[in-house]
Structure 1
Amino acid sequence: MMRLLSIFLLMFFNLFFSQNQLNLIPYPKNINVSSGEFIIPKTLLLDKNLPKEETEYFKKHLNADIKFQNVEKGAQLVYSELPKTNGKDQNDEFYSLEVSPKEIHIKSYTRQGYFRALQTLVQLFEGQESKKIPSLKITDEPKFAWRGMHLDVCRHFFSVEEVKQYIDYLAMYKLNTFHWHLTDDQGWRIEIKKYPKLTQIGSKRKESMIGAYVDNTFDGKPYGPYFYTQAQIKDVVKYAQDRYITVVPEIEMPGHALAALSAYPELACTKGPFESATKWGVFDDVFCPKEETFTFLENVLDEVMQLFPSQYIHIGGDECPKTRWKECAHCQELIKKHNLKDEHGLQSYFIQTIEKYVNSKGRKIIGWDEILEGGLAPNAAVMSWTGVNGGIEAAKSKHFAVMTPGSYCYFDHYQGDPQSEPNAFGGYTPLDKVYSYNPIPTELNAEQAKYILGVQANLWTEYILDFKHVQYMIFPRLMALSEVGWGTSDPKNYKNFENRVIQQFKILDKMKVNYARSIYNVSGKVIPSNNGVAYELSTSQNSNGIRYTTDGNDPTGNSQVYQNAISVSKPMTIKSAYFEDGQLKSAISSQQFSPSKTTGKNITLEQQPSENYSFGGAFTLVDGIIGSQKQLGKTWLGFQGKDVVAVIDLGQKTQFSEIYFNTLENKGSWIHLAKSAQVFVSDDNVNFKMVKEIGKDEIQNSKGKVKLNLGNQNSKYIKIKIENAGIIPAGNPGADSKAWLFVDEIGAN
Structure 2
Amino acid sequence: MIRSFFLFFTLFSTAIFAQDKLNLIPYPQTLQMTDGTFIIPETLNLDSNLPKNETEYLKKRLGSGIKWKDVKGKDAHLAYSKLSNAPAGKDEFYNLEISPSQIIIKSYTQEGYFRALQTVIQLLENYKTEKKIPAMKIEDHPKFAWRGMHLDVCRHFFTVDEVKQYIDYLAMYKLNTFHWHLTDDQGWRIEIKKYPKLTQVGSKRKESMIGAYVDNTFDGKPYGPYFYTQEQIKEVIKYAQDRHITVVPEIEMPGHALAALSAYPELACTKGPFEPATKWGVFDDVFCPKEETFTFLENVLDEVIDLFPSQYIHIGGDECPKTRWKECAHCQELIKKNNLKDEHGLQSYFIQRIEKYVNTKGRKIIGWDEILEGGLAPNAAVMSWTGVNGGIEAAKSKHFAVMTPGAYCYFDHYQGDPQSEPNAFGGFTPLDKVYSYNPVPAELSPEQAKYILGVQANLWTEYILDFKQVQYMIFPRLFALSEVGWGTADPKNYKEFENRVIHEFKVLDRLNVNYAKSIYNITGKVVSSQQGIAYELSTSQNPEGIRYTLDGTVPSARSNAYRSRIPIPKSLTLKSAYFEDGQLKSAVSTQPFTISKTTGKNITLEQQPSENYSFGGALTLVDGIIGNVKQLGKTWLGFQGKDVAATIDFGNKTAFSEVSFNTLENKGSWIHLAKSAKIFVSDDNRNFKMIKEIGKEDIQNAKGKIKANVGTQNAKYLKIIIENAGIIPAGNPGADSKAWLFVDEIGAN
Q: Same fold (TM over 0.5)?
A: yes
Instruction: Name 1:418's counterpart in structure 2.
Output: 418
Instruction: Name 1:75's counterpart in structure 2.
Output: 76
The residue type paired with residue 260 of structure 2 is: A
Provide the C-alpha distance between the structure 1 equivalents of 2:625 and 2:62, rounded to a whole number of angstroms.
47
Provide the C-alpha distance between the structure 2 equivalents of 1:670 and 1:296, rounded to a whole number of angstroms.
31
- Aligned to 2:199, the other structure's residue is in SS state helix
Contact 1:84 1:90 in 2 (8 A): no
Q: How does 1:542-581 map to 2 (within 5 A)?
A: 542-556=542-556, 558-581=558-581
The verdict on how the C-alpha distance between 1:64 and 1:482 changes in structure 2, with shifts beyond 3 A counting, is farther
Instruction: Name 1:500's counterpart in structure 2.
Output: 500
The residue type paired with residue 80 of structure 2 is: Y
The residue type paired with residue 395 of structure 2 is: A
Instruction: Name 2:281's counterpart in structure 1.
Output: 281
The residue type paired with residue 126 of structure 1 is: E
Provide the C-alpha distance between the structure 1 equivalents of 2:18 and 2:417, rounded to a whole number of angstroms.
33
Instruction: Name 1:659's counterpart in structure 2.
Output: 659
Provide the C-alpha distance between the structure 1 equivalents of 2:415 and 2:39, rounded to a whole number of angstroms.
38
Q: How does 1:236-275 map to 2 (within 5 A)?
A: 236-275=236-275
Instruction: Name 2:105's counterpart in structure 1.
Output: 106
Per the TM alignment, residue 63 of structure 1 is displaced from its structure 2 partner at its CA by: 6.2
Per the TM alignment, residue 75 of structure 1 is displaced from its structure 2 partner at its CA by: 1.1
Contact 2:557 2:583 in 1 (8 A): no
Q: Deviations over 1:589-632 (max 9, x none)?
A: 11111111111111111111111111111111111100112331
Instruction: Name 1:11's counterpart in structure 2.
Output: none
Per the TM alignment, residue 17 of structure 1 is displaced from its structure 2 partner at its CA by: 9.9
Per the TM alignment, residue 569 of structure 1 is displaced from its structure 2 partner at its CA by: 1.1
Q: How does 1:162-311 map to 2 (within 5 A)?
A: 162-311=162-311
* Range with bigger deviation, 423-432 or 547-556: 547-556
Contact 2:612 2:633 in 1 (8 A): no
Provide the C-alpha distance between the structure 1 equivalents of 2:671 and 2:61, rounded to a whole number of angstroms.
46
Q: How does 1:519-534 map to 2 (within 5 A)?
A: 519-534=519-534
The residue type paired with residue 22 of structure 1 is: L
Q: How does 1:385-464 map to 2 (within 5 A)?
A: 385-464=385-464
Provide the C-alpha distance between the structure 1 equivalents of 2:304 and 2:546, rounded to a whole number of angstroms.
54
Contact 2:615 2:633 in 1 (8 A): no
Provide the C-alpha distance between the structure 2 equivalents of 1:674 and 1:158, rounded to a whole number of angstroms.
40
The verdict on how the C-alpha distance between 1:248 and 1:547 changes in structure 2, with shifts beyond 3 A counting, is same
Contact 2:440 2:449 in 1 (8 A): yes
The residue type paired with residue 75 of structure 1 is: A
The verdict on how the C-alpha distance between 1:231 and 1:550 changes in structure 2, with shifts beyond 3 A counting, is same
Q: Deviations over 1:196-224 (max 9, x none)?
A: 00000000000000001011000000000
Q: Deviations over 1:215-241 (max 9, x none)?
A: 100000000000000000000000000
Q: Deviations over 1:436-459 (max 9, x none)?
A: 000000000000000000000000
- Corresponding position: 1:624 with 2:614: no
Contact 1:17 1:33 in 2 (8 A): no
Per the TM alignment, residue 42 of structure 1 is displaced from its structure 2 partner at its CA by: 2.0
Contact 1:81 1:108 in 2 (8 A): yes
Per the TM alignment, residue 18 of structure 1 is displaced from its structure 2 partner at its CA by: 9.5
Provide the C-alpha distance between the structure 2 equivalents of 1:386 and 1:62, rounded to a whole number of angstroms.
41
Q: Deviations over 1:72-103 (max 9, x none)?
A: 24111111101216xx4351100011111111
Provide the C-alpha distance between the structure 1 equivalents of 2:72 and 2:458, rounded to a whole number of angstroms.
46
Provide the C-alpha distance between the structure 2 equivalents of 1:256 and 1:194, rounded to a whole number of angstroms.
21
Instruction: Name 2:90's counterpart in structure 1.
Output: 91
Instruction: Name 1:488's counterpart in structure 2.
Output: 488
Provide the C-alpha distance between the structure 2 equivalents of 1:658 and 1:61, rounded to a whole number of angstroms.
65
Instruction: Name 1:122's counterpart in structure 2.
Output: 121
Contact 1:78 1:104 in 2 (8 A): yes
Contact 2:601 2:649 in 1 (8 A): yes
Per the TM alignment, residue 35 of structure 1 is displaced from its structure 2 partner at its CA by: 2.1
Contact 1:64 1:125 in 2 (8 A): no
Per the TM alignment, residue 19 of structure 1 is displaced from its structure 2 partner at its CA by: 3.6
Q: Deviations over 1:674-704 (max 9, x none)?
A: 0001100000000000000111111111112
Tell me the TM-score normalized by structure 2.
Answer: 0.97
- Corresponding position: 1:675 with 2:666: no
Q: How does 1:137-156 map to 2 (within 5 A)?
A: 137-156=137-156
Contact 2:614 2:633 in 1 (8 A): no
Instruction: Name 2:43's counterpart in structure 1.
Output: 43
Provide the C-alpha distance between the structure 1 equivalents of 2:281 and 2:17, rounded to a whole number of angstroms.
50
Contact 2:19 2:496 in 1 (8 A): no
The verdict on how the C-alpha distance between 1:84 and 1:589 changes in structure 2, with shifts beyond 3 A counting, is same
Per the TM alignment, residue 71 of structure 1 is displaced from its structure 2 partner at its CA by: 1.6
**Ranges in structure 1 where 5+ consecutive residues have no aligned partner:** 1-15
The residue type paired with residue 730 of structure 2 is: A
Question: 4+ residue stretches of structure 1 with deviation over 3 A?
Answer: 16-20
Provide the C-alpha distance between the structure 1 equivalents of 2:476 and 2:746, rounded to a whole number of angstroms.
35
Contact 1:212 1:630 in 2 (8 A): yes
Contact 1:681 1:688 in 2 (8 A): yes
Q: How does 1:595-744 map to 2 (within 5 A)?
A: 595-744=595-744
Q: Deviations over 1:529-582 (max 9, x none)?
A: 111110001111111111111111111265111001000011111111111111
Per the TM alignment, residue 179 of structure 1 is displaced from its structure 2 partner at its CA by: 0.3
Contact 1:391 1:403 in 2 (8 A): yes
Instruction: Name 1:3's counterpart in structure 2.
Output: none
Per the TM alignment, residue 585 of structure 1 is displaced from its structure 2 partner at its CA by: 1.0
Provide the C-alpha distance between the structure 2 equivalents of 1:89 and 1:294, rounded to a whole number of angstroms.
38
* Range with bigger deviation, 614-623 or 172-181: 614-623
- Corresponding position: 1:372 with 2:372: yes
Contact 1:149 1:458 in 2 (8 A): yes
* Range with bigger deviation, 554-563 or 646-655: 554-563
Provide the C-alpha distance between the structure 2 equivalents of 1:211 and 1:705, rounded to a whole number of angstroms.
23
Q: Deviations over 1:390-428 (max 9, x none)?
A: 000000000000000000000000000000000000000
Provide the C-alpha distance between the structure 2 equivalents of 1:557 and 1:485, rounded to a whole number of angstroms.
41
- Aligned to 2:625, the other structure's residue is in SS state coil
**Ranges in structure 2 where 5+ consecutive residues have no aligned partner:** 1-15
Provide the C-alpha distance between the structure 1 equivalents of 2:531 and 2:287, rounded to a whole number of angstroms.
57
Provide the C-alpha distance between the structure 2 equivalents of 1:283 and 1:89, rounded to a whole number of angstroms.
44
Contact 1:543 1:562 in 2 (8 A): yes
Provide the C-alpha distance between the structure 2 equivalents of 1:564 and 1:249, rounded to a whole number of angstroms.
50
The residue type paired with residue 302 of structure 2 is: D
Instruction: Name 1:8's counterpart in structure 2.
Output: none
* Range with bigger deviation, 260-269 or 570-579: 570-579
Contact 1:412 1:425 in 2 (8 A): yes
Instruction: Name 1:161's counterpart in structure 2.
Output: 161
The verdict on how the C-alpha distance between 1:64 and 1:503 changes in structure 2, with shifts beyond 3 A counting, is farther
Provide the C-alpha distance between the structure 2 equivalents of 1:441 and 1:614, rounded to a whole number of angstroms.
18
